Structure 1
Amino acid sequence: MTNHVRPPATPSGRVLNRRRFLAASSMLVAGIGAAPLMGSRTASAAGLKTVRFSEAVHNLGYINLYVGMHAGIFKKNGLDMKVSAAGGDTQTFAAVLGGSADFAIGDATMAQISRENGGPGVVVGTVVQRAHYFGVSKTLKPITDPKEFKGLKIVTSPEPNTNFSVTKRMLEKAGLKLGTDATIVPVNPGTEIAAMLAGQADMAVAYQPSVAAAEAQGAKVVFDFSNYVGPFCNTGIMVLPSTIQKDPEMVQALVTSFEEASRKTYADPAFAKEVARKEFPDLPGEVVDKAIDAELKYLIPAQSVITKQDQWKNLMDMQIYLGNAKGSVSFEQIIDNSFAEKAIASLK
């Protein structure tokens, strides 16, 4: 299986404006064109086609990807996956816009913003179907009403990452004013738990396996974002229309692989745990197992690769509320479920 390439850490104080960044990137692609993606590119081994694949960050929300790789599903469908972690949602879609990646998984709002600014971007599937974040604390009791966050400091990744967006909307919907009633403390993606444990905040909004690792150190899950938000396209598969036009077979093979992998994740939790242990070898096995149990209990990995309208609506409602998207591109224009529908039909 291909090893993952991790990005260098970014300064904790650096905040990227997703609309400004992607607007500039989109205009660049629209004006001069991205680096050409060769539909005939193949891997040297066994005639497999090389797929340059960018994940926002390496985390267990993406367990379907890792299950597919370790189970040989992508290779069975003719693909040699070269996966690298970009370091955030904006960066992963920028890799697609810039031509260094064929596909990206991350906050699918990136494709929406690109389209709204005259650039390219299509979402061909869903990888995470719920907000895969948990509120974790060593000092707080379980919270059921967001109004109870009044007076608290909450650590998340910086804006525009999804855990920041989900938290900000939740607080404001509860009538809390940021900076006055509650404070969000931004840190580098993946370091939220460490910041909370160090006393920088009362609660961290984090994802697995960091959450399970924090529980092993005495912290507790005090808020469940997956059920609070409901169906949610937390992570989508993003691609350029030019890639679809040049190599629809590659796109179909990738989406079919994700559909098959999503089914295996839920049908064989023991295998998913085995994969997760390999992907996160620095964590104790029991911590990783607990993380997978939580992922499946809360239905966080997509059970099917197809993107549903209620999932997309909840994502867009949040992003429009926050001002990150205008909502001027319809579901039918941005979502291409044709590959997912063919995948589902082929696997019946």
Structure 2
Amino acid sequence: MKKISFIITSFLLLVLAACSGGGEATSSSTEPASEGGATENDSILVTEAFHSLLYLPLYVGKKEGVFEDNNIDIKNIRSAGTGPTALASVLSGEAQFSVHGPEHVGFAQEKGGKAKAISAVANSAPVWVLANEDVEFHSPEDLKGKKIVVHQAPGTSNTLLKRLLLDAGLDYEKDVTVMEVQSGSELGPVLAGEADIAVAYQPQVDQGVSQGLKIVYDFTEEYPEYAFSTFNASEKLISENPDLVKRFVLSMDQSLKLIHENPDKAVAVAIEEFPELDKEVVTKAVNRMIDSNVYPPDVTITNEAFNTAIDMQKFVGNIKTDMKFEDIVDPSFNPNN
């Protein structure tokens, strides 16, 4: 089923690109920006795999005027539902930038889609393992015999769990009982006493903690360099309007630095962006991700982070061929280089 899923999503990318005549997006300015800096705003669309606290640097940049200061008007941030769908909008010419895992750029390239990863946004493995207070956990070996709730494959939390079990000498199908659920539903069975362990993202992690669960394992400590999500652009946009790409990456860099310099401001934006969530949960979740560098200090996509993410995809069989850093990542717009 995994192979079929990736074939379908890759085919979707091609279809959308073909429907646009193979063209990629450009900014909506009537004239290209000059080398000395843009004099009018470029209006852009950004597509995200899903609406998430993981993409907070984008929301901070928009709400705090960072993009506007760099002559960029984000007219819309649209959730696409999946990484391939978000990237398809870029390849079809509808959106200028997308945010999702860099592996999707590689999958698109294999089918003729021309895109590059240009900026980091979530750069450590943002997954935590929670348990009820009465569950004994001292090491991953203690997962043996436990009932574990995790997001459906091929989600990253599912992949990380499989890797953790393998490294502990445990079998995913024989030594533990796994309940695969939709993302965001991991806590329910554990809180109801129907399972022992939940493997989850934020804000579910701090929602669980607020309801009496304990964190027993932190994947950000095991994988501090992990290119979980990147910003991506078409090669055509990079070629035809490099100034816009440069200003976008600069805006993201400034937003990431703002988050680390002023966590309270980042929290305020997150609370406004996710009003349905408890404010205390949001505050703790954002600060936890700042402290663990889920929000990296700048836009650099390191070789180590990229290779860790790709190797994890290879581990579960999602990637069969070599995906090289230099083929997928374009670091030339990084203001820190």
Query: Smaller-chain TM-score range?
Result: 0.7 to 0.9
Moved more, 143-152 or 50-59: 143-152
Alpha-carbon spacing, 1:282–1:173, altered in 2? closer, same or farther (3 Å)? same
Structure 2: distance between partners of 1:274 and 1:240: 32
Alpha-carbon spacing, 1:52–1:154, altered in 2? closer, same or farther (3 Å)? farther
Is structure 2 residue 331 aligned with structure 1 residue 344?
no
Using the size of structure 2 for normalisation, the TM-score is 0.87
The aligned counterpart of 2:80 is 86
Which secondary structure state, in structure 2, belongs to the residue aligned with residue 186 of structure 1? strand
The aligned counterpart of 2:142 is 148
Is structure 2 residue 37 aligned with structure 1 residue 51?
no
The aligned counterpart of 1:166 is 160
Cα distance per residue 1:39-92 (max 9 Å; x no partner): 25149xx95322211222222222211211121001111222211222333433
Alpha-carbon spacing, 1:62–1:26, altered in 2? closer, same or farther (3 Å)? closer
Which secondary structure state, in structure 2, belongs to the residue aligned with residue 270 of structure 1? helix
Is structure 2 residue 14 aligned with structure 1 residue 21?
no
The alignment covers a number of residue pairs equal to 328
Any unmatched runs of 5+ in structure 2? 31-38
Match of 2:215 among 218, 221, 242: 221
Q: In the alignment, is the contact (CA less than 8 A) between 1:17 and 1:159 conserved in 2?
A: no
For residue 202 of structure 1, report the CA deviation from its aligned partner. Answer: 2.4
Which secondary structure state, in structure 1, belongs to the residue aligned with residue 244 of structure 2? helix
Match of 1:209 among 186, 203, 206: 203
Match of 1:68 among 35, 43, 61: 61
Structure 1: distance between partners of 2:295 and 2:185: 22
Match of 1:311 among 305, 310, 334: 305
Cα distance per residue 1:163-207 (max 9 Å; x no partner): 222222222233322221124322222232235434553222222
Larger Rg: 2
Q: In the alignment, is the contact (CA less than 8 A) between 2:46 and 2:98 conserved in 1?
A: yes
For residue 298 of structure 1, report the CA deviation from its aligned partner. Answer: 1.3
The aligned counterpart of 1:255 is 249
CA root-mean-square deviation:
2.6
Structure 2: distance between partners of 1:74 and 1:312: 26
For residue 104 of structure 1, report the CA deviation from its aligned partner. Answer: 1.5
The aligned counterpart of 1:9 is none
Q: In the alignment, is the contact (CA less than 8 A) between 1:26 and 1:119 conserved in 2?
A: yes
For residue 263 of structure 1, report the CA deviation from its aligned partner. Answer: 0.4
Structure 1: distance between partners of 2:85 and 2:190: 25
Structure 1: distance between partners of 2:116 and 2:28: 21
Alpha-carbon spacing, 1:34–1:174, altered in 2? closer, same or farther (3 Å)? farther
For residue 255 of structure 1, report the CA deviation from its aligned partner. Answer: 0.7
Cα distance per residue 1:214-234 (max 9 Å; x no partner): 211112212101112231111
Q: Residues 274-293 of structure 1 correspond to what in structure 2 (within 5 A)? A: 274-293=268-287
Q: In the alignment, is the contact (CA less than 8 A) between 1:256 and 1:344 conserved in 2?
A: no
For residue 254 of structure 1, report the CA deviation from its aligned partner. Answer: 1.2
Structure 2: distance between partners of 1:280 and 1:140: 32
Using the size of structure 1 for normalisation, the TM-score is 0.85
Structure 1: distance between partners of 2:96 and 2:136: 42
Which secondary structure state, in structure 2, belongs to the residue aligned with residue 233 of structure 1? coil
Q: In the alignment, is the contact (CA less than 8 A) between 1:26 and 1:120 conserved in 2?
A: no
The aligned counterpart of 1:333 is 327
Of all paired residues, the percent bearing the same amino acid is 29
Structure 1: distance between partners of 2:231 and 2:258: 19
Q: In the alignment, is the contact (CA less than 8 A) between 1:316 and 1:327 conserved in 2?
A: no
For residue 100 of structure 1, report the CA deviation from its aligned partner. Answer: 3.7
Any unmatched runs of 5+ in structure 1? 1-13
Moved more, 94-103 or 121-130: 94-103
Q: In the alignment, is the contact (CA less than 8 A) between 1:139 and 1:202 conserved in 2?
A: no
Q: Residues 292-307 of structure 1 correspond to what in structure 2 (within 5 A)? A: 292-307=286-301
The aligned counterpart of 2:36 is none
